[in-house]
Amino acid sequence: MNARIHPRIPSPPAKALAVFLILILAMPLPLFARYQPTRGSNAFSREQELQAGQQASADVLKKMPVLPESDPVTQYVQRLGAQLTVHAPGDPWPYHFRVVNQKEINAFALPGGPIFINMGTIQAADSEAQLAGVMAHEISHVVQRHATRAATKQMKVQMPLQILGALLGRSSLGQLAAEGISFGAGSYFMKNSRQNESEADLIGTDIMYDTGYNPQAMADFFAKLEKEGGANGPQFFSDHPNPGNRAGAVEREVHSLAPKTYRTGSPEFAQIKQRVAGLKPLTAQEIAAQQQQQTQSVKGRLPAAEYPSRETQAFTHDLFQISYPKNWQVFGDRTSTVNIAPPSGVSDNAIAYGVLISDYQPEDKNATVDQSTHALLNTLRQSNQDMKQVGNDEDIHVAGVTGKSVDLIATSPVQDANGHGQRERDWLVTVPGRQGNVIYLVFIAPDADFNTLRPTFDQMLRSLRIK
């Protein structure tokens, strides 16, 4: 008897399982092997993170020798950065790259996307992959929100929760700076921990891999810096400490990814290397000397050329519009807290001459302008213990509505002959906004100069329009 053997037909569940296993085996390994970004405690909203980065970036552009956007070196770095950020995991941030004309090898990322690369880093890179490695590492600090996570951790330690909540209200970064919370180049929260560095190395490895660069080049570059730097090491490691066995960690991450053929350097990199080879960027000491000169200009009286001109120009914010002297400058943008001041009237996060404009959201959205003004005053005093009110607050008519006017005194950044801060006069004006908030202006000058500038302040206030 001939027995016919029939093939066994798998049951539907078994068949589905077989198909699933085939798909799993066909999927590229990186989907399972790559390092996943982490989310730590962060009191900063996305909007606040972007605002912090914008303000810190404006401060860097004011103080540091940053190459213009039109420079070929800047344009090359921006094109390379655009290729890398396409593969950055997590939330999409508005990354933007600039080059600092500084000799020391370093790079830093600000909250929300601004990234600065020192000229010395480009000069030291032996390949495009090494430069891409530094940039991918900095992109990873933005992905991980390392700066604002570190600030959050510190604020929880040093501030009661109710003050922390008030300071993290909308447009409150000026008050945060008064509490020592800032994100400019060299600030405490831009110095990364070893854990942060380890995370940035691993995410940077994956960004390089996805862009087509050999991630080992990143570890090779860091090893080169350590070897050439000797015991002290270059400036880079003061902000980016070695997390330990950096090369080994990168190598393990690479081995967890599928093998691939990496791209070679572009002809454009060779051209840029040739261009920067003959340049002599400024040293950190030379830059510090320039910054010292800027600081000293604030310590004296306002230069005659910077007293307000009769010609004015308008600045349009999302919440208001105001006219100001044409020879003064706007520090900030249409979404952030704004300082309008003469060029030498602002230094080291302090304003000596000019006006600060922001908005304040009281806890009670139904609060009157009087109640909001007193709540704002309490917040301002918490960040500046020297501030004292002079007399009573009064009603004032601004932009077709009734607001509040308060005279204050404090200590000015402008110093007297003995090096002591002069008495400062601050004029606070609050105006009801359209969203339950108040728009507030603080006109600032040393007491000796305030009356001279008062007509300009009055003119600016008369020009204010609330949106």
- pLDDT tens per residue across span 141-171: 999 998 888 877 766 655 444 444 444 444 4
Name the pTM for this structure.
Answer: 0.57
Q: In b/e form, how buried is each residue of 129-159, taking b as 16+ CB within 10 angstroms?
A: bbbbbbbbbbbbbbbbbbbbbbbbeebeeeb
Confidence of residue 212 (pLDDT cuts 50, 70, 90): very high
> Of 27-31, 384-388, 424-428, which has the strongest mean pLDDT?
424-428
Q: Residue 26: its pLDDT value, please?
A: 47
Mean pLDDT of 45-60: 88
Domain positions in the chain are 30-282, 301-466
Confidence of residue 8 (pLDDT cuts 50, 70, 90): very low
What value does the mean pLDDT of the chain take? 81
Q: Residue 232: its pLDDT value, please?
A: 41
Mean pLDDT of 436-452: 88
Residue 150 makes CB contacts below 8 A (sequence gap 6+) with 189, 193, 196
Q: Residue 281: its pLDDT value, please?
A: 93
Confidence of residue 24 (pLDDT cuts 50, 70, 90): very low
Question: Which comes out higher in pLDDT, residue 272 or 302?
Answer: 272
Q: Residue 21: its pLDDT value, please?
A: 47
CA–CA gap between residue 35 and residue 38 (Å, rounded): 9
Q: Does domain 301-466 have CATH number 3.40.1000.10?
A: yes
CA distances from 308 to 274, 312, 440 (A): 46, 9, 21
Contact (Cβ atoms closer than 8 angstroms) between residue 197 and residue 242: yes
Confidence of residue 429 (pLDDT cuts 50, 70, 90): very high
Q: Residue 184: its pLDDT value, please?
A: 62
* Bridge pairing between strands 329-331 and 421-432: unpaired
Q: Residue 331: its pLDDT value, please?
A: 86
Mean pLDDT of 29-49: 73
Q: What percent of the chain clears pLDDT 70, i.e. is strictly above it?
A: 78
> Of 2-11, 229-238, 422-431, which has the strongest mean pLDDT?
422-431
Confidence of residue 75 (pLDDT cuts 50, 70, 90): very high
Of 232-236, 323-327, 434-438, give the lowest mean pLDDT range: 232-236
pLDDT for 173 beyond 80: no
